A and B are shown apart, each in its own frame.
Chain A
Amino acid sequence: MSNIDHQELLVLEAGRTERHYWRDLWRYRELLYFLARRDISVRYKQTVFGIAWAVVRPLATMLIFTLVFGRIAKLPSHGAPYSLLVFSGMLPWFFFASALGDTSNSLLANGNLLSKVYFPRLIIPVSTVMVPLIDLAIGLALLIAMMAAMGYPPTVRLLLVPAFILLAFGAALGLGLWFAAMNVKYRDFQFVIPFILMIGLYVSPIGFSTNVIPERWRLLYSLNPMVGVIEGFRWTVLGDSFPPRFEALLLSAMTVAILLASGVWYFRRTERSFADVI
């Protein structure tokens, strides 16, 4: 306080991209944590089943998918139990879907904060993407129990799971940044996003393995970033009968990188007007 000349100078001007944005983001990292903690502890408040929902939802969906794709459509499972095949696809997808859905709505849900306090706006979508990680962790525990019960003991491959989750995290954040920013101005996205997620559930290789996709379409198919994620996930669970294709992974990773970079770019371009529009 005593020596005013040594204090940093902040300049506010029209159109001035803040030079200290990333440093500010780092300074506010604790807010990131507290916001995520808020959303986690509020998530299942006032629900009768509470955290059990994190178990019930994927389990129920798994049963239905196993029935439809495995028993009725009789899609191949390459010797693996169909339920495991479905569940190993369902976990990363559920994480991606709730992360994307919540992130897209995050700015609207925190509109009050936006119009009353300054902080780097990126904090809000980033903290929101982290919340479904809790559900994912519970799902993983369930998965490992199922694997043990069905004669697929967990192997060291499981250690690679975080890498694939990171990819899903990036995909949800990248897309989520676009949607969240656009949602502030165009509320249409409130309706678009559930629709996209519903389509994604059937288009992504959740109820079936990518092997059922004709060879020549697979590369194109892998543009969907969740294809690489789910393939990788499935491989860590079921082993070498589901080898991950390197080019699919690479393509997914590239898509994620582009989504992330463009998402951050668009978000930062529009965030200055959030408080005026929301």
Chain B
Amino acid sequence: MANVITATNLAKRYTIQHLARPRYTSLRESISDEARAFFRRALAGRPQADKRVNEEFWALRHVGFSVAQGERLGIIGRNGAGKSTLLKILSRITEPTEGRIEIRGRISSLLEVGTGFHPELTGRENIFLNGAILGMSARAIRQKFDEIVAFAETERFLDTPVKRYSSGMYVRLAFAVAAHLEPDILIIDEVLAVGDAQFQKKCIGKMEEVTGAGRTVVFVSHSMTTITSLCTRCILLDGGRILSTGDPSKVTAEYYQRGYSGRGAELIPGPETAGASSEVAILRRARLVDRERKPVDYVRRNQKVGIEMHYEILEGGYSFVPNVHVFSQGQCAFVSTASHGSELSPGSYVSLVWIPENFLNEGIYIAGLALSSMSPVRAFFYVQEGIMFNVIDDLNDPSRNEYTQPVPGLVRPSLEWSTEGASGQKGVQ
């Protein structure tokens, strides 16, 4: 397939003037600084370096890649790795400082859901405005209008100002417009992380449909699940450089291995940890333990392993059900909940779940840690990417039968097998 995007030696430099300084300057500062510099130079009789600290910051450096037609390229990396800068350059919002990009075909970018939505305008007016901002012609919008409205499920509120919309409706309408863009290349930043689960599913379906039609998608996300399920190739950025590129499940595994998710086999939630607390309960710590309940950071496939959750109950009166959500290769491998809830009074508790030996596959696993109640269904804490651990396999494991390649599958349970002769025939040797 021909390349539709070719980027060579891309770099972007930002100049930060003195950390505390605002990004915009006032004319007075510029004039007075220039004047001061002028006099200094004049008095010194020779050029003198400006004293002002101009800190240079390379958001991207030596970045080169290409994207073929119909590919879905994922871009991952921790915050500040340069993902957004890369998308901004691709979408022509900002210029590269160095390097060159060649793009073939009509390109549209979606760096935010509902860019340019005006709260005072009605849903109908905003569809046209937002469509035009994203580069759709009025004719194309009119043609797709009914589809957009149906997709957003906001028929009844078309003539209501969007400031009266619930945030869910707002986001649905905004995404619906974007989803009906028909560029050759679509650039998306994390916009799928909106709406409820059902709507997200719909969005992902729409994205697949879009690429099915031969379109190319470049996609930034923090959700490894979305990356692995949606993308055909993935780039890992770190410190403005490409660290690795290739198959999404491999690259996301590398992301985790390098601890870029900020997770290891032990988690002590801080204020930045999303979902770790509510007014009812707080997750204090979680870790991986071996059969002696000593902390470990990896596990052999033929050993059983436990996940411990240390938490504090602040408010009793619920039937608490601890549960773990275990992910691998960006997909949910399994969910396990305690078989019955416990009525706990305020205090500190530890819940432990054992994952049996010969059950997990080799590779990286991520466990989401949660404490819920089932009636009503509520999560008191849920840290989605709580702890991460590696499962290593022995190539001599009997269940491999001397097969040395990776075995596919999210889990690889050792099951009971038997083989016997059919219809009474005896003696399989």
Contacts and interface: CB of A to CB of B under 8 A. Distances in A.
Q: Do A and B bind each other?
A: yes
Interface of A: 1-2, 4-5, 7-15, 28, 30-31, 33-35, 37-38, 41-42, 45-46, 112-119, 184-189, 272-273, 275-278
Interface stretch (B129-137, B251-259, B287-295): B129-137
A272 B95 contact: yes
B100 A1 contact: no
Interface-central residue, B92, B100, B125, by most chain A CB under 10 Å? B92
A275 B102 CA distance: 21
Contact of B125 (A14, A30, A41): A41
Contact of A42 (B116, B118, B132, B138): B118
A14 B132 contact: no
B112 interface: yes
A9 B104 contact: yes
Given A117-B111, A118-B109, A186 B92 contact: no
Contacts of A116: 93, 111-112, 115
Contact of B102 (A11, A15, A277): A11
A118 B95 CA distance: 11
B23 A117 contact: no
Given A12-B101, A184-B24, A276-B14, 5 more contacts: A14-B95, A14-B96, A38-B121, A118-B109, A185-B25
Contacts of A115: 88, 93
Interface-central residue, B118, B214, B215, by most chain A CB under 10 Å? B118
A187 B26 contact: yes
B105 interface: yes
Given A14-B95, A30-B138, A4 B26 contact: no
Nearest to B10: A12
B121 A41 contact: yes
Contacts of B25: 185-186
Interface residues of B, number: 52
Nearest to A45: B120
A198 to B, nearest CB: 19
A185 B215 CA distance: 38
A154 B365 CA distance: 83
Nearest to B70: A1
A255 to B, nearest CB: 24
B323 interface: no
Interface of B: 2, 4, 14, 23-28, 30, 69, 88-107, 109, 111-112, 115-116, 118, 120-121, 125, 128-129, 132-135, 137-138, 184, 213-215
A42 B120 contact: yes
Given A42-B118, A117-B111, A118-B93, A4 B4 contact: yes
B15 to A, nearest CB: 9
22 contacts: A7-B105, A7-B184, A9-B104, A13-B95, A13-B100, A14-B98, A28-B132, A31-B135, A33-B138, A35-B129, A38-B118, A38-B129, A115-B93, A116-B93, A116-B115, A118-B92, A185-B24, A185-B25, A186-B24, A272-B94, A273-B94, A277-B24
Contacts of B24: 184-187, 277-278
A30 B132 contact: yes
A12 B103 contact: yes
A46 B133 contact: no
Nearest to A46: B120
B94 A186 contact: no
A277 B93 CA distance: 12
Interface-central residue, A12, A34, A46, A275, by most chain B CB under 10 Å? A12
Given A4-B4, A42-B118, A113 B100 contact: no
Nearest to B100: A13
A188 B28 contact: yes
B133 A113 contact: yes
Contacts of A42: 118, 120-121
Nearest to A184: B24
Contact of B133 (A37, A119, A275): A119
Interface-central residue, A14, A37, A119, by most chain B CB under 10 Å? A14
B29 to A, nearest CB: 9
B96 A112 contact: no
A201 to B, nearest CB: 24
A1 B184 contact: yes
Contact of B26 (A11, A45, A186): A186
A272 B94 CA distance: 6
B245 to A, nearest CB: 20
B93 A188 contact: no
Contacts of A113: 115-116, 133
Contacts of A34: 128-129, 132-133, 138
Contacts of A185: 24-25
A43 to B, nearest CB: 10
Interface-central residue, B23, B30, B133, B138, by most chain A CB under 10 Å? B133
Contacts of B92: 12, 118
B35 to A, nearest CB: 15
Contacts of B96: 12-14
Contacts of A277: 23-24
A117 B2 contact: no
A148 B4 CA distance: 65
